[in-house]
Amino acid sequence: MTFVPDALDRRIINSLQRGLPLTPRPYAAAAEVLEIDETTLLARLQALLDAGILTRFGPLFQIERAGGRFVLCACHAPEERLEAVIDTINAHPEVAHHYARTHHLNLWFVLAVRHAADVGPALQRIGRDAGVDILPFPKEREYFVNLYLPV
pLDDT digit string (tens) for 7-48? 999 999 999 988 888 899 999 999 999 999 999 999 999 999
Is the domain of 110 the same as that of 69? yes
Low-confidence ranges of the chain (pLDDT < 50): none
Q: Is residue 145 one of the residues assigned to a domain?
A: no
Residue-level pLDDT at 25: 95
How far are the Cα atoms of 29, 70, 112, 113, 117 from residue 67, in angstroms, in the given order? 31, 10, 11, 9, 9
Q: Is residue 110 one of the residues assigned to a domain?
A: yes
Is the domain of 70 the same as that of 130? yes
Is the domain of 67 the same as that of 44? no
Q: Is residue 45 one of the residues assigned to a domain?
A: yes
Is the domain of 41 the same as that of 86? no
Is the domain of 31 the same as that of 90? no
Number of domains in the chain: 2
Greatest CA separation for the chain: 52
Residue-level pLDDT at 18: 87
Q: Is residue 149 one of the residues assigned to a domain?
A: no
Q: Which domain holds residue 12?
A: 7-50
Is the domain of 30 the same as that of 90? no
- Phi and psi at residue 41, to the nearest 5°: -60, -50
Note if the pTM is more than 0.85.
no
